[in-house]
Structures are given as structure tokens and as C-alpha cells.
Chains A and B, each alone.
Chain A
């Protein structure tokens, strides 16, 4: 994951949770896509800012981390369903693994995702934490 343009292309969505919405059928896509799977070429996609609020659909604790995540392990990874209806794969932070449960309300935060080696790049993006108040 060391190509800068490859990261830069996704920066807007990874930093700000910006997805796409089909103006024809209303389907929301995050990560953003350029093509609506329901409407195909009749669909038209526009940018949409997601709320960053949602709930945990499932979760796991990663104990054998991939390269770039060694210092964070063990860490919680989850599928979070946003209030807009889309799911994201994300890390859950600011909570001990034992306290995470299915259905838990969470909100997005901006954090460091991974490091590309000792002298390499540091990648940032969204993670989720338990929701402060609703």
C-alpha cells in the first residue's frame, strides 16, 4: 500500500465519509462508486455526506495483524451499519474489546489507520467509537 496516488484518490471519502447517492433510486454507495448497480446506465450518482452515526452489525478482535498494524493489535474490527443504511468495515476504538457488542451505537472519528514501515507514510481515515450521546 505504498503508492501515494492510490491513497490520495480515496482521501476525500476516507477523511470525510463522503459517499454517492443515486438520484434515480436513492441507493447510497459507500465506498463511493461511479455506477448504480440497480439503475445501471439510467442512474445518476451525486455526492452525499454521511452522518457518521450507526450501529455495530458484527465485530471481531484481530490478534494476528497484517503489516502496518502490528503496534495496534489486538484491535476491534467491525461492520458498522450507518443510519443511511450502508455498511462500512472499520476499527472500533476508545473501548475495550470486551465492551463491544452487536447493536452498540457508534460514531465516526478521524484517526491514524496504518503506518507504511518505519520511515514510510502514515495513513489517516475514519474509525468508530462508542457514541457519546444520541
Chain B
């Protein structure tokens, strides 16, 4: 496909941001991205916003309008994009397609979620709406419960160990220490994970991404237009998206996320790249087992070998393929609608050489964002 340039990035601190409202979050990240791109508000043709559940989290729908209004961007067209936890990645893809279609030259893509305005039970229930409401959630299933089913089966089929799952969390917490925007800056050990309270066996609290407020934003531009504003943009060279069954019980095999495999296949083909070309990746570790499924489904390691690869340090900074240098969803935080956009922000910072103490040497990076238990997956490939 033709390349689309990322000319500006921005994000808020991730965490429990009790003093900041939903729309303030977006405006903060948006202003940072627009400033970074060196564009003026009047240069922007359209806005796409990834958001999972403004309606349940802050009693606000019609958030595309709210954000365009509060960011001072009206009357440009604003569109909300929703695919549960993959909303952000999907918003990026909508922005890319709107530029490639020739409709727009400069597009702002943001993602935002405000999760701490409601009690934890409501948050838990809202996340469960990403599953099949009538045949999973109704039966008493929870979102961590679905990933626990996958984790148990993965351990059964491939011999993945409880400790290997914990190592994903340990690695991502270590990476987050060097990310000033991350929710957590604390080193943890395998023992800490194994001693944390059980949420849904075999998954424990420290296997699960936290409840987070946050926003992220990027400015996308056509290659021609990008040159007017920046010298060395990072380019999105591949994009892939795939759907699977919404319910886990309808998948023939639960230990391979087929939506990830299919989205990756499309993204690699469009970018004319292969898994071995990828030098840094941000993947969807909403639960530790999620990162193992991701690195397997994306082709970084063989199916079933994700736990072992993690244990051997292949995915650590300094390893063969550093994964989640930002701290990932686990330690950077997971404001669901913002996550897919924040992943792109991290890869852009890495490819620009602006990732500080977590910097890796890379020219080609990848982002991978999942909705629900694997019903939607979005993959992007970025290059210098």
C-alpha cells in the first residue's frame, strides 16, 4: 500500500487521573500531537476517536462531537470508532484509509477512555460487554475469566508454565520504569505475581492490566503533505484488520487468536514485510497470556513457544525482538479506547530515537491491538 506519515504524537500520563475529565484528557494529548507536528488547527481535515464505552464509563455518547467541540476543531468531521479494547487501533486504520482514499490530507486520530469515574464493579461489567453478552456474560463469565480459560488450555496443550506467564508481567513492569507516562513505576518479581490475589484461576491480579484513565493522539498525513511540516516522518507502511467469533466458545481452537493471525497476514502483505523484519513491537497484553498469544499469532515465535521465548529473554529490551518497551497494557496502563493509539505513539518514539532509557535499535516496528477475547484484531507496521 502507499505509505501514510505520522507527523505528530502526543499522550497524557496514564493512571488514576481523578482531577482530569474525559474531554480534558483528549485535549491534552491532542494539543501535544498537534504541537509536535507543527501544524495549525486549520490544517486538519478530519478527526477519528477511538473510545470503547463513554456511555457506560462517563454517561456520555456522541463523543466525536464533544471532542471536536472541546478541542476547538469544529466544524471538521469527527467520527467515533468502537471495537472494545481495539477501538484505538481501528481509529488509526480509519485515519489511514481516509488519507489513502484521497479524501483527506491531514487527519488527527485519538483514543481516550476515562475508567475511574465509576465503581470497579461497573468497570468490570463494562469490560465484559466486549464478550457475548447473552451467552458468556449472562452465564457468569467475566473478561479475566475468558483469558483464564485460554491460559489454562495453553498450559495444557503446550506446557506453558505459570512462571512464564508471570515473566511477561515482570518484563513489562521493568520496561515501564523508564516510561514517564506509565501508570506503574515499580519493579516486581515472579514471586510477587504468584503471591498476588487470584482473580480467575490461573490468572492473578498481577497478570491483569489495570483500570486506567488516559488519552493518546497522532497526526497522520499523506506523504506529499507530510514534507511541508516535518523532515523525517515515521511511516505507516502496513495495516491489517480481522474479525473472529465474538464468543470464545465458537472458536475451533482457543489457544490461537485467529483474528491476530489474519490481521497480521494482511499487514505484512501490504508492507511487504515478514515477521522476522520486525525489530520492536507493542502488543495487546491486557492479560499476561495475551502477550504470549500475540507473539505466537504475529509469527515472532512458533505457536506454543511464546512462554519459553519470554523466559529466555527474547522479548526483553536487548533481546531478539523487544516487545512492549512502553510497559505494555500491563504496566503502562490500559485506558481501553486509547491503547491502540498509544501503541503507535510508542513505536513512533522508538523509530525516531526518542524513547529515552528504553530506546532500542529499530527501523521497523509493529503494533497489535485486540478487541474482546479476540473477536477483533488490528495490526500496523511502521517504518523510518
Contacts and interface: CB of A to CB of B under 8 A. Distances in A.
B140 A114 contact: yes
A36 to B, nearest CB: 13
29 contacts: A31-B135, A58-B152, A58-B153, A58-B156, A58-B254, A60-B145, A60-B148, A60-B200, A60-B201, A62-B140, A63-B199, A63-B200, A64-B124, A64-B144, A66-B125, A66-B142, A67-B121, A67-B125, A69-B140, A77-B200, A78-B149, A79-B149, A79-B249, A89-B135, A89-B247, A90-B139, A91-B140, A113-B138, A125-B139
A89 B150 contact: no
Interface of A: 1, 6, 10, 31, 57-67, 69, 72, 75, 77-79, 86-91, 97, 102, 113-114, 123, 125
Given A31-B134, A61-B200, A87 B249 contact: yes
A78 B136 CA distance: 10
A63 B198 contact: yes
A77 B250 contact: no
Contacts of B248: 79, 89
Contacts of A58: 149-150, 152-153, 156, 254
Contact of B141 (A87, A89, A97, A102): A89
Contact of B138 (A64, A79, A86, A114): A114
B329 interface: no
A64 B200 contact: yes
A66 B121 contact: yes
Contacts, number: 95
Max chain A C-beta neighbours (<10 A), residue from B140, B197, B199? B140
Contacts of A88: 135, 249
Contacts of B121: 66-67
Contacts of A57: 153, 254
Interface in B323-342: none
Max chain B C-beta neighbours (<10 A), residue from A60, A66, A77, A90? A60
A67 B156 CA distance: 31
A1 B138 contact: yes
Nearest to B136: A89
Given A60-B200, A64-B142, A102 B152 contact: yes
The 4 A-B pairs at the shortest CB distance, nearest first, are namely A60-B148, A87-B249, A58-B153, A58-B149
A35 B124 CA distance: 32
Nearest to A10: B134
Interface in B241-256: 247-250, 254
A91 B139 contact: yes
Contacts of A78: 149
Contacts of A6: 134
Interface string B190-209: 00000001111111000000
A14 B338 CA distance: 37
A10 B380 CA distance: 39
B303 interface: no
A119 B204 CA distance: 33
Interface string B227-264: 00000000000000000000111100010000000000
Nearest to B156: A102
Contacts of B140: 62, 65-66, 69, 72, 75, 77, 91, 113-114
B351 interface: no
B188 interface: no
B223 to A, nearest CB: 39
A86 B202 CA distance: 24
Nearest to A91: B140
Nearest to B203: A60
B291 to A, nearest CB: 19
Given A63-B200, A66-B121, A87-B249, A102 B137 contact: no
A37 B97 CA distance: 28
B124 A89 contact: no
A63 B125 CA distance: 14
Contact of B200 (A1, A62, A87, A102): A62
B135 to A, nearest CB: 5
Contacts of B156: 58, 102
A113 B139 CA distance: 6
B128 interface: yes
B152 A60 contact: yes
Nearest to B150: A58
Contacts of A123: 138
